[in-house]
Chains A and B, each alone.
Chain A
Amino acid sequence: MTGGVKEGEFSLSEKIEVPSGLINAIVAGYQLALNKALGAGAAAMTQLLVRDIGDFLEGMLEEIGFELHDIADLKEDIPKAFKMLGISDNVEVEIPSDGEASGSKYIIKIHDSIFKPVARLLEKKGIKFTLSPESFIAAALVRKAIRKVKPDAQVRVKIHPQKSADEPLVIEVIVR
């Protein structure tokens, strides 16, 4: 089923159709379980996930021909990556003037996402969507672009609370 993909590796080049409803159910399930076990502590998992998933994502995006340019190009590169991944066609990016400086904030607004059903379900249950896959992807891209000029740069992610799942998902990526 996984064809040429080596055991223990992840790939985007081999496409297998999986219903988005199933993916959404799995993401929602993890978020609900984590929220039950950790409460507000689930938000801290986001920081760990950015570190652990970031490296995988970088390699996977390269594999499907995505090319990340310089920090200034993130405004175009981030929406392009979301489109190539089939997650959203409508992404806005605000780049700070001093992009790699510590404390700089990148704002990424995702208007329509395939993960919106998860956001809707969590909104009904009054749970914050801290495991948003969009946030890991955005953070991984920002981190990679910054590391071209500042190799040891770290980033933190903050997901703005949404009043409604129909509002854009606003992700803040902060450079450390």
Chain B
Amino acid sequence: MSTPIQRILGEMTRSPGVVAVFIVSKEGFIIEKASTGTLTIDEDAFAAMLTTVYGATTQLGEELQIGKPETTTLEYPGHYILVHDLGENLLAILADKSRAVLGRLRYELRKQAPRISGAL
């Protein structure tokens, strides 16, 4: 039986191009995830890296006195990674660039973030 969090993440994976969705603790480990296929990643390393990247973007904003990042977008040749702050945790989407629409992904993150925070 799936939990409310698993259901929300499952819904998110149905958006075009989404490969995987993660909830990552700011301590650096994965709390929950959903993917459209089998993911062969080192989850602990991924979670720690994601948290440190997000930490760096936050510090950059503080240094420049431009506030906290709303959504961090990382763009690679074939993929996007989007990261959204949930307070104690982060919500991240890994998406296939050829099928995903960036605006839709951002909308999805902002729409689902409060639901996820409420369900955690």
Contacts and interface: CB of A to CB of B under 8 A. Distances in A.
B62 to A, nearest CB: 7
Contact of B51 (A36, A44, A156, A158): A44
Interface SS of B by simple majority: helix
A41 B45 contact: no
A4 B57 CA distance: 44
Interface SS of A by simple majority: helix
A42 B54 CA distance: 10
Given A36-B59, A46-B28, A158-B27, A41 B54 contact: yes
A46 B56 CA distance: 16
Contacts of A51: 44-45
Interface string A126-162: 0000000000000000000000000000101010000
B48 A48 contact: yes
Contacts of A43: 26-28, 51
A38 B28 contact: no
A47 B59 contact: no
A48 B55 contact: no
A47 B48 contact: yes
B53 interface: yes
Interface in A27-66: 36-48, 51
A127 to B, nearest CB: 13
Interface in B44-96: 44-45, 47-49, 51-56, 58-59, 62
B29 interface: yes
A51 B49 CA distance: 14
Given A39-B55, A46-B28, 12 more contacts: A37-B55, A37-B56, A39-B59, A40-B58, A41-B51, A41-B52, A42-B55, A44-B27, A44-B28, A47-B29, A47-B44, A51-B44
For the complex of A and B, list the 4 residue pairs with the smallest distance between their C-beta atoms, beginning with the closest: A41-B55, A44-B28, A44-B51, A38-B55
